[in-house]
Amino acid sequence: MTRLGDLERAVMDVLWDAAPASSDGVTVREVADALDGRELAYTTVMTVLDRLAGKGMVQREREGRAWRYRPAATREAHIAQLMLEALDLGGSRDAALVRFARSVTGTEADVLRAALGAEAEAGAALGAEAGATVEDGPTGRVENPRSGRPALDEATDR
């Protein structure tokens, strides 16, 4: 996933904020108007949106002579992908993940536990439907049945 520059991030914020209210997407003019404090030329905003489309960050549809833009993924999905890429930067994804898990607040840890519990339940239901069992993955640890990534064990679930 491509990291975003300051202006690209500002444009994506406009699209993400508009997405629920405007499922048809927004025009370049609407994005430029939403970036009112920046005093950007229409063509600058158009260029940024065109580049974001080229990077796969936005989808666009022709409406008359104009384009309507909407995010290709949610803000949360983008941030999650950035976090996964950050975990891969070091030599040991596990060590980085453990350090991250130990740094979260109690409330954040509760959110993670609930998400992991829901994922485990969904995986168990998926496995039961298919008659499959979750086996040790290539790392020798139990893997998440949907993502193929190693599941957290109790030592890292803090």
pLDDT at 142: 46
**What does the pLDDT average to over 116-124?**
82
Residue in this structure with the two tokens 């139990």, named with its chain if needed: 142
pLDDT at 68: 94
Q: Where are the beta strands (DSSP E) in 8-153?
A: 58-63, 66-71
The rounded radius of gyration (Å) of the Cα atoms in the chain is 20
Higher model confidence: residue 131 or residue 142? Answer: 131
**How far apart are the C-alpha atoms of 80 and 147, rounded to whole Å?**
14
What pTM was estimated for this model as a whole?
0.66
Residues 79-93 pLDDT 10s = 999 888 888 887 788
pLDDT at 155: 40
Coarse DSSP helix, strand, coil percentages of the chain, rounded to the nearest 5 percent? 55, 10, 35
